[in-house]
Structure 1
Amino acid sequence: MESSPREPEAVPYHPARSLATGQRSLGDPSVRYPLWPPLTAGCPRTADGDTVYPLEVEYDYAAVPEDLFRRPAGPGLERWAPLLPPLAAPGLGEGNTPLVPIGGGVHVKDESRNPTWSHKDRLNRVAVSAAKESGAPGVVVASSGNHGAAAAAYAARAGLRCAVFTSPHTPPAVASFVRAYGATVVTVEREWLRPLVRRVVEEFGYHPVSSVTDTAHTGHPFGPEGYKTIAYEIFRDLGRVPAAVYVPTGYGELLFGVWKGFHELTLLGRADRVPRLYACEPAAGGPLGAALRAGRPAAQVPVGPTGAYGIACPVGGYRGVVAVRRSDGAALAVTDAQLTAARAELAAQGMWVELSSAAGLAGLRARRASGAAAEDGDGPVVCVATSSGFKDLATGTGTYPATTPEWPAVRELLRQGA
């Protein structure tokens, strides 16, 4: 009698060794905390009025393996485990996205090639790992799209529950995407997002992987550490530090992560400088630009109508200020018309991106048109493209009439396309 086939046994995930040693306040780097627990509500000792400062992770840089940056490339943040917080949850092959040259010394770091088609996968690999390591039963996130989808996917992979609070304006395609991973999705107006996230943390013990503060964005202290790996990969693929990096910017976590990655390369003696970083915000808002102009650590601004919903943020955080100032960069405001032109340019190169995702290239094109880009000096320039065009507000809403099958009509369409 034949035996019935056995179910395959689950292979336990063994995290690679991390050299993370603790957390420190960005408001006052002399203020330090242990690595656990992650201080997801910002630094309690350096908060100043309405401003709450985020934290960053410290490492034992002297113990970084000498061959770390010579190891073969491969998907998954495990490749960079010594310079990341503990990766206690399994991944999905995130990272190692292509750096695509588009002419004129410009390269596009295409983050839409990640498992859930956005840069948020890098953040959620480390933030969901923190939830797993902390013993939380689940994660909770407030998100308009990309963050919620990535959190839901990585929570599912880690065997954790996930609650996503989102606004009624989330694109239908993205709403379906988040639900596909089994997340509990709660749709409320924007002003209720963070209060409800905090309530879930208090009552259910879920681990927050998005910001829980209202007046200044803090976010998860481990999150931007995942974004550092973008800088590592750019440096590896170019073989040098670029002249400048143009980054779509909402709350500034991605911007800070890219800055920190290049900064660490200088600390480790791999590079001699950090590239200039340009935060590319929608002209309809722009809290980082407002904070820099006012000389403040963070600012709140009204947000007007824009199709770049993914980076249309009313509140900023100190991380973005740090990245711009320490890289001698700037905050750039881009209009929807400039974003649309940049998205079309990327599509003509074979990359279909969300409107928000085109902000980096839009900022570069505007800066070159004004002649200011000459200040960056010689060398390659990188524009980060953050997510797929699948995430856009208008995706899946258009209808297209059938074409008459007669050859003259088909030929005319082909002629028009040429």
Structure 2
Amino acid sequence: MCSFSPSGASVRETGASLATHQRSLGDPSLTYPLSPPLTRGCPRTSTDDLAYPLEVGYDHERLDPRLFEQEPGPDIARWAPLLPPLHAPTLGEGGTPLLDLGDGLHLKDESRNPTWSHKDRLNRVTVSAALAEGAPGVVVASSGNHGASAAAYAARAGLRAVVLTSAGSPPAVQDFARAYGATVLSVPVEERWPLLREIVDRLGYHPVSNQTVTHTGHPYGPEGYKTIAYELFLQLGRVPAAVFSPTGYAELLYGVWKGFTELRLLGLTRDVPRMFACEPAAGGPHARALAAGAPAAIVELGPTQAYGIAGPVGGHRGVRAVRDSGGEAVLVTDDEMRAAQRRLARLGVWQELSGAAGLAGYRKLARAFDGPVVCVATSSGFKDVGVGTRSYPARAGLTARDVAALLEQDA
């Protein structure tokens, strides 16, 4: 039996969610009921200085083996047995292209999602949780992709959305979220998370972003990112040797890693990729934690234009994914990200600066791998700082010779 997504792509129904519980990453022996989602971290292992996130556990023995016989395509409901229950309607997220850049290097272009970023996979899952919990709406602290995506999925589900952003976020991105009917408020950074918690506690809104001292986020969120691993497995016909991912809070990094570990658990592969967390050199909390052997870290953040992944707060998920996979954290400068961004644009893919961090990390490491390498590119260049603010006055009297000279200059 098949259902159909808004894009018209057929989605095989392979059963309902097999999610059974939440499990602490601070102590995997500690489990909790699947509902309600514990959005403030594990209550038994977290402290005032360190919060441990939770993940979702599944009854893998009941999985229909035909699940991985399908072609990757839009609507992550095709992976429903390995996701928390999906109550929110789809906008056609997932099924993004894998571009062959040559010499064994591939680009997973997540800017092809409905709101032009990877966050759509997460918000299909977290907005579903909001519906399941009977919340009147969702609230998110975000200066970019997360806020716009949450607003879109909330609108599609008939929920209100409150987006707490910073005055320095790109005006076009704020307009993006407002277009979906969200209430968008510019709030000083130090006030954003206290206000978010107050909205959760007093107004009953469901939080789809972090509330804790080190990052925990929503326990269901990274489950949506597992679908990238499933798609890569089918698109490549194997598991990649390495994955380079732009990394802020590392939900994406961890979700992709967990997806590959599930493929191994299910007996579909014996291999898993090495995961590389590509962070702005202006911060790098996961690099700091890994170097110190700590479960998570908070650092001082310097200036960077990569606002989508810039933050002083790390979390345990990213540390686990890098450490357990034998990967590394790679610190990339804005100049290195700009060079990668220009390279992708010359290949026909326009990414915001943060979205090019994966390729920047791969180029910086300059290491050979025994198998294909995937760089995840997360978000459209339309969301970059300063886009649309420049003007280009008309130039009268140009000749073909003038154009030829300009072409030579740009070559």
TM (norm. structure 2) is 0.95
Inter-partner Cα distance in structure 1 for 2:224 and 2:125: 6
Matched, 1:389 2:404: no
Match of 1:251 among 241, 249, 252: 249
Percentage identity across aligned positions? 66
Match of 1:413 among 387, 393, 406: 406
Contact 1:246/1:360, CA 8 A, preserved across alignment: yes
Matched, 1:380 2:378: no
Q: Which runs of 5+ in 1 are unaligned?
A: 1-13
SS class of match (1:47): coil
Contact 1:16/1:78, CA 8 A, preserved across alignment: no
Q: Deviation of residue 49 (structure 1)?
A: 4.2
Residue by residue over 1:149-181, the C-alpha shift from the partner in whole angstroms, topping out at 9 and shown as x without a partner, is: 000000000000000000111101101101000
Inter-partner Cα distance in structure 1 for 2:303 and 2:280: 10
SS class of match (1:42): coil
Q: Deviation of residue 16 (structure 1)?
A: 6.0
Q: How many residues align?
A: 398
Residue by residue over 1:253-289, the C-alpha shift from the partner in whole angstroms, topping out at 9 and shown as x without a partner, is: 0010010000000000011021000000000000001
Aligned to 2:26: 27
Q: Deviation of residue 203 (structure 1)?
A: 1.0
Inter-partner Cα distance in structure 2 for 1:219 and 1:48: 16
Inter-partner Cα distance in structure 1 for 2:204 and 2:101: 47
SS class of match (2:296): coil
Match of 1:229 among 220, 227, 230: 227
Q: Deviation of residue 74 (structure 1)?
A: 2.3
Inter-partner Cα distance in structure 2 for 1:356 and 1:15: 35
Contact 1:357/1:387, CA 8 A, preserved across alignment: yes
Aligned to 2:9: none
Q: Deviation of residue 416 (structure 1)?
A: 3.2
The one-letter code matched in structure 1 to 2:406 is: L
Q: Deviation of residue 410 (structure 1)?
A: 3.4
Aligned to 1:6: none
Contact 2:243/2:374, CA 8 A, preserved across alignment: yes
Match of 2:392 among 390, 400, 403: 400
Inter-partner Cα distance in structure 2 for 1:296 and 1:314: 15
Matched, 1:155 2:148: no
Contact 1:15/1:87, CA 8 A, preserved across alignment: no
Aligned to 1:273: 271
SS class of match (1:309): coil
Q: Deviation of residue 405 (structure 1)?
A: 4.1
The one-letter code matched in structure 2 to 1:387 is: S
Q: Which runs of 5+ in 2 are unaligned?
A: 1-12
Aligned to 2:329: 331
Inter-partner Cα distance in structure 2 for 1:285 and 1:84: 32
Listed as ranges, the matches of 1:106-145 within 5 Å are 106-145=105-144
The one-letter code matched in structure 1 to 2:343 is: E
CA RMSD of aligned residues (A): 1.3
Aligned to 2:339: 341
Inter-partner Cα distance in structure 2 for 1:298 and 1:415: 50
